[in-house]
Amino acid sequence: MDVVAALLAYRAVLLPTDTVYGLAARADRPEGADEVYRLKGRSARQPTALLAASVDALLSAVPELPDGAVRRMLPGPFTLVLPNPAKRYRWLCGDAPHAIGVRVPDLRPEAADVVAAVGVVLATSANLPGGADPRALDEVPDAIRARVAGELDLGPVPGTPSTVLDLTGGEPRVLREGAVTSADALARLKG
């Protein structure tokens, strides 16, 4: 099945990002999230990032996001956890509907075209809980790869996940150091 057609049908697909291969699905209804959680063996209580092909597409999907912080950090290898006062995409927010994780990776044109064709997607690394982050499609566990509706193979990616920054409180916090060190991420945020 074509990757865009699969996403439009709320099916899960494998897509390369600027960090790892991701398990993605259309984000505008819970059906996509349900399939991704089932394939990954992940609890719906754990949040999953909303991913867009551009900052403008992200801000269109969640207009309440702080424009300055988003544009300062994205696109890039970051997941930003931001206030979600309208509780949009609550099926992606786990136990914290007041916050939402967002990404605008620096995608290759082919991957950006796929994401742009459906607006926004939800995305998480295409591994099983506790497993290694996949750098290439052949590193995606068979339990996931055999059950997705499509995949986009653009060759290897770096294999280090995004750096996750929580911007919901008074001071930014690094929740996970990834492709960018904590010090560099915080410096860029203040930049």
Per-residue pLDDT at 164: 98
Domain span at residue 102 reads 3-190
How many separate domains does the chain show?
Answer: 1
**pTM for this predicted structure:** 0.96
| pLDDT confidence of residue 1 | 67
Instruction: CATH number of the domain at 12, please.
Output: 3.90.870.10
Task: Please state, in angstroms and as integers, the Cα–Cα distance from residue 73 to each residue in 3, 55, 62, 185, following that order.
Answer: 28, 10, 16, 8
Residue 60 has pLDDT above 80, yes or no: yes
Cβ-proximal residues to 138 (8 Å cutoff; 6+ apart), any chain: none
Question: CB–CB of 23/40 below 8 Å?
Answer: yes
pLDDT at 21: 98
* Exposure on the CB side of residue 33, measured as CA atoms within 13 A: 21
pLDDT band at 134 (very low <50, low <70, confident <90, very high): very high
Query: How far, in Å, CA of 107 to CA of 112, rounded?
Result: 5
**Cα–Cα distance measured from residue 48 to residue 37, given in angstroms and rounded to the nearest whole number:** 9
Name the DSSP letter for residue 93: S
Q: Which residues, 6 or more positions from 74, have their beta carbon under 8 angstroms from its beta carbon?
A: 55, 58, 80, 102, 103, 104
User: What local confidence, expressed as pLDDT, does residue 191 receive?
Assistant: 75
Reported as a single tens digit per residue, the pLDDT across 24-54 is 999 999 999 999 999 999 999 999 999 999 9
For residues 183 and 189, give the distance between their C-alpha atoms in angstroms, rounded to a whole number.
Answer: 10
pLDDT for position 113? 98
**Element containing residue 32 per DSSP (H, E):** helix 30-40
Residue environment code for 58-88, b if the CB has 16+ CB neighbours within 10 A, otherwise e: bbebbeebeeeebeebbbbbbbbbbebeeeb
